[in-house]
Structure 1
Amino acid sequence: MTPYPTERVALFIDGANLYSAAKSLNADLDFRKLVDMYRAKAVLVRAYYYTAVVEGEEFSPIKPLVDWLDYNGFTVVKKPVKRFTDAQGHTRTKGNMDIEIAVDMLELAPRLDHAVLFSGDGDFRRLVQAVQAKGVRVTVVSTLKSQPPQIADELRRQADVFIELESLLPEIGRPRGAPGSLITGSDRP
């Protein structure tokens, strides 16, 4: 779905989910191109990027990306990764950003015509439905081209439009590891 030139649009990027989808397509994304693409097509109100970060590490592979995004007009929403031990005694990490995405999208909905969600997480189906009930069109960007598909069927069906991430790669992608890529194989949003 192409936004209208006067349409107020916001991008909601689930960093870990989008990273996984791009990785499954063997591609890196150029976030400058992504924002420029939407600015050229509509009135970009806000571009959110959501990620969990590991605190206390001397070097984090996500830090350069988060710094770049923050400096280049993105609203970066981050929270610390939580570590826990499961029933089998294995240490696990959790950094789910679903609530943050849902709150921001619902709060911004009255000032939007169109929300673009970069995630395939089926948990967002009800969020998309609620935002649509406020009169906002919702586009979901993810991929069916991976095995298994990165997009949940219920989310794809709920969206006004589903955009296959692979179809955007000529405009916003780079081959994995290409010079100047903003996400490389070692980065993990």
Structure 2
Amino acid sequence: MSRIAVFVDVQNIYYTTREAFGRQFDYRKFWAQLSERGDIVIAHAYAIERDDNGQIKFQDALRHIGFDVKLKPFIQRADGSAKGDWDVGITIDVLEAAPEVDEVVLLSGDGDFSLLLSKISSKYNIQTKVFGVPSLTAKSLIDSCNEYIEINNSLLR
């Protein structure tokens, strides 16, 4: 069986599925679908830490499914904007995992990850897959992976 590493950009998936479908991503369905393709040996979900009961329950649900939930503090800037970007953390974890797996699966539409996927695919000869919302996934990210899987109704709740 293929050894799979999964990396979820939680904020990106939350906002893109909400914008495109008005619904939430179903992580249980996703896990079940991915488990049929191989052995999930690494599963990280990157989220923002807020003292919000809904967020805490959601993060606990992700842990129950099998994800290691990595949290970064929510930062509110003086101008009212917020910061909570996990791009560097995700990149480091993907680079560390790539030599140990056969397949890297990224849930995100963020084009900043396109160079990363191209690099690990060529350097480690592994498969790269991206799950993203079709209208909100960067073309560069789609072009950089071996397989792009559209998030659609089958992966929503």
Structure-1-length-normalised TM-score: 0.76
Please tell me whether residue 13 in structure 1 is matched to residue 28 in structure 2.
no
Instruction: Tell me which residue corresponds to 2:156.
Output: 173
**How far apart are the structure 2 equivalents of 1:106 and 1:114?**
12
Aligned positions, number = 155
- Give the gaps of 5 or more residues in structure 2: none
The secondary structure found in structure 2 opposite 1:108 is helix
Question: Equivalent pairs: percent with the same residue?
Answer: 28
Instruction: Tell me which residue corresponds to 1:140.
Output: 130
* Distance apart, 1:127 and its partner CA: 1.0
Checking the alignment, whether the CA contact within 8 Å between 1:35 and 1:47 is kept in structure 2 is no
Q: Which has the higher helix share?
A: 2
**How far apart are the structure 2 equivalents of 1:47 and 1:21?**
21
The one-letter amino acid paired with 2:12 is N
**How far apart are the structure 2 equivalents of 1:92 and 1:22?**
22
**1:76-101 CA distances to partner (integer Å, 9 max, x unpaired)?**
1111012222xxxx221100010111
The one-letter amino acid paired with 2:156 is G
Within the candidate set 103, 118, 123, 1:114 is matched to 103
* Distance apart, 1:8 and its partner CA: 0.8
Instruction: Tell me which residue corresponds to 2:60.
Output: 67
Checking the alignment, whether the CA contact within 8 Å between 1:12 and 1:49 is kept in structure 2 is yes
Please tell me whether residue 158 in structure 1 is matched to residue 154 in structure 2.
no
Within the candidate set 88, 93, 115, 1:126 is matched to 115
Task: Give the RMSD, CA atoms, in angstroms.
Answer: 1.5
**How far apart are the structure 1 equivalents of 2:39 and 2:2?**
6
Please tell me whether residue 46 in structure 1 is matched to residue 42 in structure 2.
yes
**How far apart are the structure 1 equivalents of 2:132 and 2:29?**
17
Checking the alignment, whether the CA contact within 8 Å between 2:31 and 2:65 is kept in structure 1 is no
**How far apart are the structure 1 equivalents of 2:29 and 2:140?**
29
* Distance apart, 1:11 and its partner CA: 1.2
**How far apart are the structure 1 equivalents of 2:141 and 2:67?**
25
